[in-house]
Amino acid sequence: MIRKYRYGTPFDTEALTEKIETTKGVLPYGEVSQEEGFVFTYIMDEDDIVYGLGEANRGINKRGYCYISNCTDDPVHTEDKRSLYGAHNFIVVSGKSTFGLFFDYPSKLTFDIGYDREDTLKVSCENADLDIYVLEGENAYDIVKQFRHVIGRSYIPPKFAFGFGQSRWGYTTKEDFRTVAKGYRENHIPIDMIYMDIDYMQSFKDFTVSEENFPDFPEFVQEMNDQSIRLIPIIDAGVKVEPGYEIYEEGVKNNYFCKREDGSDFVAAVWPGDTHFPDMLNPEARKWFGDKYRFLIEQGIEGFWNDMNEPAIFYSPEGLAEARELAGEFAKDTEGKTHPWEMQDKMLSIANDPEDYKRFYHNVDGKKIRHDKVHNLFGYNMTRAAGEAFERIDPEKRFLMFSRSSYIGMHRYGGIWTGDNKSWWSHILLNLKMLPSLNMCGFLYTGADLGGFGADTTRELLLRFLALGVFTPLMRNHSATGTREQECYQFENIEDFRAVINTRYRLVPYLYSEYMKAALSDDMYFKPLGFVYPDDKRAIRVEDQLMLGNEIMIAPVYEQNARGRYVYLPEEMKFVKFLPDGSISEEILAKGIHYVDVASNEVPLFIRNGKCIPVAEAAECVKDIDTEHLQLIGYENSSYTMYEDDGIRKDYDKKENYRVFTKYRLTLKKHCLNKRIKGKNSQC
């Protein structure tokens, strides 16, 4: 059951796709104060678990810290960071009382979940203009599925997007991309995508291609396509201020850019230098910007990633003027009136200064709305602009799209990657813990920068990161310029990387099937163990293992120099390892705690009792995966229903998209591992 409670005059975020009438009366849980802005307070039971918040720091259970929902461009995700790139205001309290809360509020929102007082959940914001949705159900998982239903179907990517992708900020010329393609293809490491960061553009201008480096861009796109590799370019939020640049000229002429209070176009510095931000909350401006993706689509591009769309601000002219003034005072100061620390703080805070977000406005139905009041909606609506345009450009075709900044609702138009992480071991675990929380908020197509974006990776770290990425819908190796090159062929014993990525392609039939089932039924792809085993007191406290789909559990290794790890099995399971020689080991383990050996070139998973999964032979691109000849691994006398479509079009609901496979025990043989299955309703 879902009820809506309204306070003040909320901004319509369009997060929900179903209309829910406002309920009169007070919230059934906690207390609300509107004396100073808005404050919701709830006293938690000692054993309560709090799930949710999507892309947030720390654990699956959010108790014990303070989080701020405020889309923030900050690449250094240490434990003390309270805001990351997304704003996902959905939580579930599970325990003595079990209920869900969605705070539909597009500005800065603070979740103190046992930080100030260990037993107190406090949610607060500056203005009492918001809708709160209260959800009740049989358990936390049931509440999540209800929420998923009312926010609309999750984005469904093309099937090639389940392949492996290589990215690096620094690929600039055709030769750079050819070198990457050659490195993977000659070493027979599977790959489907190479990403194009900002250097492919002409002077960092959106919807342009460098004339010097790509004079024949459509032909180059086709050259890559001929190798079954798709180029995926980046699109940034800022439009360069440059007379003669068509998009700039059109935006100025039609008043499509965000404005200062005096009506002039707001200026902020990002990669191109001075830029304007398209007014993504203005439907006309949003349509205009979305239609610009056609420029690259008509040259053969089938996927994009949106970036810098918090929006990131390096500085504004106003902020820079303030810094210069202080610097001038500091330079003339002979009496020590201006402390060096004051100067330092000013220079460090010039980027993404909260004051800058108060300096520009959106046009919403003819009304001026100051940006900071709706800040968390910018990235959402930038990706929405693209998603709506794709429907106009080719309504039957799926395009790859994912974003950095997001709000609930954007999940209908694209996925997200978890931003500019670091080459830190702790970030494997952090990214693992984000996955079910993101799924709760509708974001199914997601993944991390494998190997870490910032800092220098190591061979072992990359292998372990990739072993997690085997299971995430988005599997991308991405790194920053100036860091160690981390393409898989850059390291010794390339065959180890080939083996790990081969495992991904062998599992694509299962992973794609479970993704589609989750998307089409408003379900989760990744789940905390407590959602599947709610009565198991140990399972609900496990933070480094996840359920994937309905058949498997994953437990990646995330510590340096580890040769394995401890796992908790809530029931008997089959421990499966994909080995570097292409074979698969299987061992039944009893319920309880086990230490399992996992080498850095092996990929482990656990199959639930009575279940099986389909596995393909390795292929070097998704289109070459043979789904007519599969093997079933897992328990004898079990069945699996596999979803498969063409991966291109949107005819999702056809009955023929489903096939049932059964793994029978053969009396004349000890087992039927590695037996082939073929065709519809086949049996092993």
- CB environment 423-444: b (16+ within 10 A), e (fewer): bbbebbbbbbbbbbbbbbbbbb
Residues 6+ apart with CB under 8 A from 107: 70, 125, 126, 127, 372, 373, 374, 375, 376
Res 680 pLDDT > 70: no
Q: How far apart are CA 30 and CA 50, in angstroms?
A: 15
pLDDT of the residue at 398? 98
Q: Please tell me the number of Cα atoms within 13 Å of 646 on its side-chain side.
A: 8
Helix (H, G, I), strand (E, B) or coil at 596: strand
Distance (Å) of CA 549 to CA 283, 512, 556, 570, 611? 37, 10, 16, 16, 11
Detail the DSSP E strand segments found in 55-187. 65-69, 86-87, 90-94, 99-104, 109-113, 120-125, 130-135, 164-166
Q: For position 347, what pLDDT does the model report?
A: 74
Residues in the chain: 684
Residue 666: which pLDDT band, with cuts at 50, 70 and 90? Answer: low
Helix, strand or coil for residue 336? coil
| Span 584-595, pLDDT tens digits | 999 999 999 999
The pair of three-digit structure tokens given for residue 178, joined into one six-digit string: 């050819």
272 by Cβ neighbours in 10 Å (0-12 / 13-18 / 19+) ranks as: buried
Query: How many CA atoms lie less than 13 Å away from 87 in the CB half-sphere?
Result: 27
Averaged pLDDT for residues 657-669 = 77
State the pLDDT confidence band at 67, using cuts at 50, 70 and 90. Answer: very high
pTM, rounded to two decimals: 0.95
pLDDT tier at 331, thresholds 50, 70, 90: confident
- Give the CA-trace dihedral at 386, 389, 393, 399, to 10 degrees: 30
Report the largest interatomic distance among the alpha carbons of the chain, rounded to a whole angstrom: 95
Lowest mean pLDDT among 135-144, 161-170, 667-676: 667-676
Q: What is the pLDDT of residues 609-627, one digit of tens each?
A: 999 999 999 999 999 999 9
DSSP-based three-state secondary structure for 144 = helix
Kindly tell me if the per-residue pLDDT of 340 is higher than 90.
no
Token couple for 597: 């050996």
- Whether the per-residue pLDDT at 567 is higher than 90: the answer is yes
Model confidence band, residue 146 (pLDDT cutoffs 50, 70, 90): very high
Closest CA to 585 of 598, 594, 572: 598
User: How does residue 684 score in pLDDT terms, banded at 50, 70 and 90?
Assistant: very low
**386 Cβ contact partners less than 8 Å away, ≥ 6 residues apart:** 235, 290, 293, 304, 306, 399, 401, 413, 414
Residues 6+ apart with CB under 8 A from 348: none
Given a contact cutoff of 8 angstroms between Cβ atoms, the answer to whether 597 and 555 are in contact is no
> What residue type is 348 in one-letter code?
L
Phi, psi of 656 (to 5 degrees): -70, -5
Strand-by-strand arrangement of the 273-276 sheet: 239-240, 273-276, 268-270
Q: Is the pLDDT of residue 334 over 80?
A: no
17, pLDDT greater than 50: yes
CA-CA distance, 536 to 527, in Å (whole number)? 15
13 pLDDT band, cuts 50/70/90, is: very high
Q: What residue has token string 């892309």?
A: 55
pLDDT at 328 (0 to 100) = 82
Relative to beta strand 109-113, strand 164-166 is unpaired
pLDDT value at 463 more than 60: yes
Average pLDDT estimate for 139-164: 98
Q: Strand 658-663 to strand 638-643: parallel, antiparallel, or no bridges (unpaired)?
A: antiparallel
> pLDDT digit string (tens) for 475-510?
999 999 999 999 999 999 999 999 999 999 999 999
Tokens of 44: 């938690």
Q: Is the pLDDT of residue 675 over 90?
A: no
319: which DSSP letter?
H
Indicate whether 94 pLDDT > 60: yes
Q: Which residue has the higher pLDDT, 590 or 322?
A: 590
H helices, E strands: number in the chain? 13, 39
CA distance 413 to 399: 10
Nearest CA-CA partner of 234 in 286, 308, 162: 308
Compute φ and ψ for 438, nearest 5 degrees. -65, -40
Which one-letter amino acid corresponds to residue 23? T
Token pair of 26 as six digits: 């007070």
Per-residue model confidence (pLDDT) at position 236: 98
Kindly tell me the burial class for residue 356, based on how many C-beta atoms sit within 10 Å of its own C-beta (0-12, 13-18, 19 or more): buried
User: At which residue do the structure tokens 């849980």 appear?
Assistant: 29
pLDDT of 668 higher than 50: no
The answer on pLDDT for 351 being more than 70 is yes
Task: Taking residues 388-402, report their average pLDDT.
Answer: 98
Give the pLDDT band (50/70/90) at residue 670. very low
In the 3-class helix/strand/coil scheme, how is 224-260 assigned residue by residue? HHCCCCEEEEEEECCEECCCCCHHHHHHHHCCCECEC
Q: What is the pLDDT of residues 624-651, one digit of tens each?
A: 999 999 999 999 999 999 999 999 999 9
Q: What is the mean pLDDT of the chain?
A: 95
Q: What proportion of the chain, given as a percentage, has pLDDT over 90? A: 92
